[in-house]
Amino acid sequence: MIPAVVLVSGGLDSATVLALARQQGFACHALSFDYGQRHVAELEAAARVARELGAVVHRVMSIDLSAFGGSALTDLSLAVPEAPTAGIPITYVPARNTVFLSLALAWAEVLGARDIFLGVNALDYSGYPDCRPEFVAAFEALANVATRAGVEGNRIRIHAPLLHMTKAEIVLQGVKLGIDYGRTVSCYQADETGRACGRCDSCRLRREGFAAAGVSDPTRYQV
């Protein structure tokens, strides 16, 4: 089987991407980050998702982005908005996907993998700069000059299969793949058992996705 590195956060999108990569026959090396986020429930969900959706291995790397702060997800003094806001929201973590992909690239290079998957989405999303098609394309271009594989002509591909899908389409795709989304945690401020707040941007996009897909929402909410 061909190895691939798959970024797995424990949320709905990356679970779907893992299942898609498995369906395509990749030996999936799941990678998650303990980066100073608000809650550990998403890392527990990531481990569960990696195991249940057939990753060959799951690795959690520690990288303390809370040392930099600047985001409501890594700085507890900044509140997570519970209503839509204008512009790039305060939950944006500076350069997070660049950092995550760079570490995925490092692991891929050691594994001899040329395929990296991530679950970014540019339709039903929070407006983060590093979830857009131009970001994915620029990282792929970088990966192919930054590494031994790129220099030797073994093209590295950054797969973002959800990029142009609506949340409803993602949900329907995942249901078809047999994913139990009740096992995933998307909420920015889930409690320690993984129950969602139901009010943050991520909860809103997820809830609307289930509704638009006509799929019963399996999310465990706090209220």
Q: Which residues bind a copy of itself (CB under 8 A)?
A: 59, 61-65, 67-70, 88, 92-99, 101-103, 105-107, 109-110, 129-130, 132, 134-135, 138-139, 141-143, 145-148, 150-151
**Amino acid present at 81:** P
Contact 219/206 with Cβ under 8 angstroms? Answer: yes
Q: What is the separation of C-alpha 213 from the centre of its chain, rounded to a whole number of angstroms?
A: 20
| C-beta closer to a copy of itself: residue 109 or 201 | 109
Nearest to 9 by CA among 35, 98, 125: 35
| C-beta closer to a copy of itself: residue 62 or 178 | 62
Min. distance of Cβ 134 from a copy of itself in angstroms? 5
| C-beta closer to a copy of itself: residue 58 or 207 | 58
The angle subtended at Cα 85 by Cα 88 and Cα 206, nearest 5°, is: 90
| C-beta closer to a copy of itself: residue 20 or 156 | 156
Six-digit token string for 17: 């991407």
The CA–CA distances, whole Å, from 93 to 34, 120, 127, 168 equal 13, 14, 12, 25
Nearest to 186 by CA among 172, 171, 200: 200
Min. distance of Cβ 109 from a copy of itself in angstroms? 4
Min. distance of Cβ 155 from a copy of itself in angstroms? 14
| C-beta closer to a copy of itself: residue 11 or 150 | 150
Q: What is the separation of C-alpha 122 from the centre of its chain, rounded to a whole number of angstroms?
A: 13
Min. distance of Cβ 104 from a copy of itself in angstroms? 9
Min. distance of Cβ 66 from a copy of itself in angstroms? 11
